[in-house]
Amino acid sequence: MTSIYFHEDDFCQIEILPVENLAFCLKQAGRITEFADEHREGVGFSHMYMREDASASLRSKKILAADLKNLLMGILPEFDEIYMGYGRYRETCEFTNAFGQNENVVLFYEQEAEFVKNIWLKLEVGNSADIESAMGIFGVLSQMGEFLIADWEWGFVEVLKNVGSVMDYLEELMRAFNSR
């Protein structure tokens, strides 16, 4: 049995949203970066920025969770158990599914009734296989509609179909991951 854990702070930190949110997300990413620069203290921050919700929710697209699951199963194994928490605290995520070759690149999705409510990623890109895995995920998502990726920590917002920009972002993540 395979399991995956995500820290509660990572929920929707790298999220997939409908492309209609592009202008909103670019504006939000700018505000977050500005706020972070103003409140940085050593390795932390003196204040917390509360991100606004996107106007076009993923839930509004009425993506059937079964359809997403079937497409993902064609390219990635599914994790059997998903846990969320902090420190030593863990709880099972009953309505969350996760897919990935390993724990570096994982797509999580939360469902509400039969529909996908949220999609977010874990991207600890360490090598070219991780990049291929991420691009496979983005290819599956692109089959279901027009989406963007918003990495709120990195201030990166891009439409998934802009493959060159997305590849540059993944390669930058890989350089950062490997320089740690």
Return the structure tokens found at 82.
């998903």
Structure confidence at residue 115 as a pLDDT band (50, 70, 90): very high
- List pLDDT tens digits, range 26-59: 999 988 888 888 888 888 788 888 888 888 999 9
Structure confidence at residue 92 as a pLDDT band (50, 70, 90): very high
Q: How far apart are CA 122 and CA 173, in angstroms?
A: 11
Tell me, what DSSP letter sits at residue 80? S
Query: CB pairs under 8 A, 24+ apart, for 159-162?
Result: 159/19, 159/22, 160/16
pLDDT at residue 127, rounded to an integer: 95
Instruction: Between 93 and 53, name the one with better pLDDT.
Output: 93
pLDDT at residue 180, rounded to an integer: 85
> What sign results for the dihedral spanned by CA atoms 94, 90, 70, 110?
positive
Edge-to-edge strand ranges of the sheet holding 115-123? 96-99, 105-112, 115-123, 14-18, 147-151, 156-159
Return the structure tokens found at 78.
């599914």
**Of 48, 173, 66, the residue nearest 111 (C-alpha):** 66
Region 140-165 average pLDDT: 96
Q: Is 79 within 8 Å of 65 (Cβ atoms)?
A: no
Query: Where in the chain are the domains?
Result: 3-178
pLDDT at residue 46, rounded to an integer: 83
